[in-house]
C-alpha cells in the first residue's frame, strides 16, 4: 500500500492528498468543493467530538441547535460580518422543483421564488443573536454558554480535503455575558481549552496568540488563535476564539438590565474548531508509510494480525488473540482482530501502517509454541517479541509512550523550525527555501502586514501571548516595535 503514496519529501501536497484517499479518510464528492468523510475519517472526528464535548460541558457549556438558514437581512446587520462572508456563501432562492413542460426533466419552479433569500450559515452569530434577543432581559438571564455541533458552508474556490472545503463540520460556541471582563475571560478560557486539546489529544504543540486586525474574524473586536506548524513548514490555524464585544448585541438590539437597574448591551464571544483539525493531525505527524495517529484519537488503537497457513493454526492463534483483545478491552483499549483470509499478513501490515494504527500485535505458529507475540510501534516502526502476559500488561504503557513521543517529536520540529529573524533578506530567504515559523518585529500597521503578504505570501499568524516585550525594528519598515510576532505562510 505505502509504496503507492507520493514521497513526502518530493511533493508534500500530493503526499497529503494520496494519504487522505488511500487511508480511506475522505474523498472529493461530486459536489464542487464538498467532501465525503468516510467511516475511518469520521471515526477520528467522533473521537475529537467526544473529547471536546466533555471539555465544554466540564466548563459549564450546553449544546443547542439553531437553523441552517439565515435570512439575508439578518446576515447584513453587522457590517463587517457581512463584508467578510458575502463573497462566499450559498444562497437559497427557491423552494420547489417541477417537471419541465418541454420534457427536459426537472426544473426550478419559478413561482416558488422566496420573498427573501436565505443564506446557508457560514457561521451562526446572526441567527443566534436574533434568538438571544428574546432570551435575555436581565442580568439573571446571563451568562448564556451555548455550543452547537453542525455543518456550515463557505463557498471556497480552492479546496483541499479536510483543510478547506465548501461544507465542513465544526462546533461553534456562542456565549453572552453581563460584562466585558467576563466575556474576555471566556474568550481566553476557550482558546486555552483548544490548546489543551491540541497538545494532549492531537499531540500537536501550538502557539496561542492574538490575531492582527487583518486576520481577525469578521465582526470581532479581538480574535485569539492556536497556530500549529506542519511538516512542510507552513502554519495551520487549528482553532479560534473571538471576543465580539457588543457588536452583535448592538446589531440585534440585545440589551439587559444590570444589577443596578441600568440598561446595557450584552457582551459576546464565539469560538470554533472544525474538521480541518483532522488535516492538521495528518500533516503534523504522518510519514511515507502513511498516517501516524496519536493513540488518544486513533479509532483502532491496537490491531492483532494472525500469521497462519491453515485453519488449525488460525484456531490456535485466535484463541490467544481473543484472550488478549478481551483483556485489553477491559482496560478501555480499542482492539481489532483482523482474521480475514483474503489478504496476506504482509498486506495487512502495510495497510494498518497506512492507517496509522499505533500498535500492531502479530501472532504466528512459533509464537503459539513460545507463548509470545510480536509488538510493533507505528511511531518508531520498532518491533519486539514479548510474552503474552507482558503484552497485556504493557500495552497501556506503550500507548501512553507513543502519545508522548509523537508530541515530543512535533515539539522538537516546531522548536527547530521557529526562527528569530531580524533582516528582511533572511526573512525572504527562509520563507522561500525552508519555511517555518518566523518570529520577527512588526510596526503594528495593517499596511505593512499587507505589503509583507504581497511580497512573500507570509502573514502574521498571531501575536503570541507569551511574546516578551523587546525593543526592535520592524522587519519590513524599520519602524520601532515593542515585541516580535509570528509570521508564516499558511494553509
Binding site for a second copy (CB under 8 A): 27, 29-31, 34-39, 42-43, 45-46, 62-76, 82, 86-98, 105-106, 108, 117-120, 127, 130-131, 134, 140, 146, 150-151, 153, 155, 167, 169, 342
Q: Shortest Cβ distance from residue 142 to a second copy (Å)?
A: 13
* CB distance 271 to 179 below 8 Å: no
Q: Shortest Cβ distance from residue 79 to a second copy (Å)?
A: 10
Apex CA 185: angle with CA 274 and CA 206, to 5°? Answer: 45
Spatial separation of the C-alpha atoms in residues 206 and 280, rounded to whole Å:
11
Q: Shortest Cβ distance from residue 289 to a second copy (Å)?
A: 24
* Nearer of residues 42 and 427 to a second copy, judged by Cβ: 42
Spatial separation of the C-alpha atoms in residues 444 and 350, rounded to whole Å:
50
* Nearer of residues 20 and 207 to a second copy, judged by Cβ: 20
* Nearer of residues 33 and 364 to a second copy, judged by Cβ: 33
Q: Shortest Cβ distance from residue 31 to a second copy (Å)?
A: 5
Residue 461, Cβ neighbours under 10 Å: how many? 28
CA atoms within 13 A on the CB side of 174: 20
Q: Shortest Cβ distance from residue 249 to a second copy (Å)?
A: 17
Q: Which residues contact 484 (CB under 8 A, 6 or more apart)?
A: 420, 439, 440, 441, 442, 464, 467, 470, 472
* Nearer of residues 105 and 468 to a second copy, judged by Cβ: 105
* Nearer of residues 162 and 437 to a second copy, judged by Cβ: 162
Q: Shortest Cβ distance from residue 137 to a second copy (Å)?
A: 14
At 79, give phi and psi (nearest 5°). -60, -50
3-state secondary structure of 110: helix
117 burial class (0-12, 13-18, 19+ CB within 10 angstroms)? middle
* Nearer of residues 222 and 258 to a second copy, judged by Cβ: 258
* CB distance 40 to 23 below 8 Å: yes
Separation in Å, CA 491 to CA 39, 235, 298: 25, 6, 24
CA 251 to chain centre: 30
* Nearer of residues 94 and 423 to a second copy, judged by Cβ: 94
* Nearer of residues 72 and 164 to a second copy, judged by Cβ: 72
Instruction: Please report the DSSP string for 266-297 in residue order.
Output: PEEEEEEEETHHHHHHHHHH-BTTB----GGG
Q: Shortest Cβ distance from residue 360 to a second copy (Å)?
A: 21
Q: Shortest Cβ distance from residue 204 to a second copy (Å)?
A: 22
* Nearer of residues 65 and 420 to a second copy, judged by Cβ: 65
Q: Shortest Cβ distance from residue 129 to a second copy (Å)?
A: 11
Spatial separation of the C-alpha atoms in residues 352 and 339, rounded to whole Å:
13
> What distance, in Å, lies between the first and last C-alpha atoms of the chain?
27
Q: Shortest Cβ distance from residue 27 to a second copy (Å)?
A: 8
CA 190 to chain centre: 15
* Nearer of residues 8 and 77 to a second copy, judged by Cβ: 77
Cell of 183: 466575556
Q: Give exposure, 292-312, as e/b (b: 16+ Cβ within 10 Å).
A: bbbbbbbbbbbbbbbbbeeee
Amino acid at each position: 500500500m505505502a509504496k503507492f503514496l507520493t514521497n513526502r519529501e518530493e511533493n508534500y501536497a500530493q503526499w497529503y492528498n494520496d494519504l487522505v484517499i488511500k487511508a480511506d479518510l475522505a474523498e472529493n464528492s461530486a459536489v464542487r468543493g464538498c467532501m465525503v468523510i468516510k467511516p475511518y475519517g469520521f471515526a477520528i472526528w467522533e473521537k475529537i467530538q467526544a473529547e471536546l464535548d466533555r471539555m465544554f460541558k466540564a466548563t459549564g457549556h450546553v449544546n443547542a441547535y439553531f437553523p441552517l438558514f439565515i435570512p439575508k437581512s439578518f446576515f447584513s446587520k453587522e457590517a463587517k460580518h457581512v463584508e467578510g462572508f458575502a463573497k462566499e456563501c450559498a444562497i437559497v432562492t427557491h423552494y420547489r422543483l417541477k417537471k419541465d413542460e418541454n420534457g427536459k426533466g426537472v426544473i426550478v419552479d419559478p413561482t416558488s421564488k422566496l420573498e427573501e433569500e436565505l443564506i446557508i450559515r457560514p457561521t451562526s452569530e446572526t441567527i443566534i443573536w436574533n434568538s438571544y434577543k428574546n432570551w435575555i432581559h436581565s442580568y439573571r438571564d446571563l451568562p448564556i454558554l451555548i455550543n452547537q455541533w453542525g455543518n456550515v458552508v463557505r463557498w471556497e474556490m480552492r479546496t483541499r480535503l479536510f483543510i478547506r472545503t465548501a461544507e465542513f463540520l465544526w462546533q461553534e460556541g456562542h456565549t453572552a455575558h453581563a460584562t466585558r471582563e467576563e466575556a474576555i475571560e471566556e474568550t481566553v478560557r476557550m482558546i486555552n481549552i483548544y490548546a489543551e486539546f491540541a497538545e494532549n489529544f492531537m499531540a500537536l504543540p501550538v502557539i496561542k496568540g492574538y490575531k492582527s486586525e487583518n486576520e481577525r474574524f469578521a465582526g470581532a473586536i479581538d480574535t485569539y488563535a492556536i497556530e500549529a506548524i506542519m511538516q512542510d513548514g507552513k502554519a495551520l490555524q487549528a482553532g479560534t476564539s473571538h471576543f465580539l464585544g457588543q457588536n452583535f448585541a448592538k446589531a440585534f438590539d440585545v440589551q439587559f438590565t444590570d444589577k443596578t437597574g441600568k440598561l446595557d448591551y450584552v457582551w459576546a464571544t464565539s469560538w470554533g474548531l472544525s474538521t480541518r483539525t483532522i488535516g492538521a493531525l495528518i500533516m503534523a505527524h504522518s510519514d511515507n508509510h502513511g498516517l501516524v495517529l496519536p493513540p488518544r484519537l486513533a479509532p483502532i488503537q491496537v490491531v492483532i494480525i494472525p500469521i497462519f497457513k491453515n485453519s488449525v493454526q488460525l484456531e490456535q492463534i485466535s484463541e490467544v488473540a481473543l484472550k488478549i483483545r478481551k483483556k485489553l478491552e477491559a482496560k478501555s483499549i480499542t482492539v481489532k482482530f483482523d482474521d480475514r483470509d483474503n489478504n496476506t499478513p504482509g498486506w495487512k501490515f502495510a495497510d494498518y501502517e497506512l492507517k496509522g494504527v499505533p500498535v500492531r500485535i502479530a501472532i504466528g505458529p512459533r509464537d503459539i509454541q513460545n507463548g509470545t507475540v510480536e509488538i510493533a510501534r507505528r511511531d518508531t516502526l520498532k518491533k519486539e517479541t514479548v510474552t503474552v502476559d507482558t503484552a497485556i500488561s504493557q500495552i497501556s504503557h506503550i500507548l501512553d509512550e507513543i502519545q508522548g513521543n509523537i508530541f515530543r517529536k512535533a515539539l522538537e520540529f516546531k522548536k527547530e523550525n521557529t526562527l528569530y529573524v531580524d533582516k528582511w533578506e533572511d526573512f525572504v530567504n527562509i520563507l522561500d527555501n525552508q519555511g517555518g515559523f518566523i518570529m520577527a518585529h512588526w510596526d503594528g500597521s495593517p499596511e505593512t502586514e499587507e505589503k509583507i503578504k504581497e511580497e512573500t505570501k507570509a502573514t502574521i499568524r498571531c501575536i503570541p501571548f507569551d511574546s516578551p516585550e523587546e525593543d526592535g525594528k520592524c522587519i519590513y519598515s524599520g519602524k520601532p516595535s515593542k515585541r516580535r510576532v509570528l509570521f508564516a505562510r499558511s494553509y
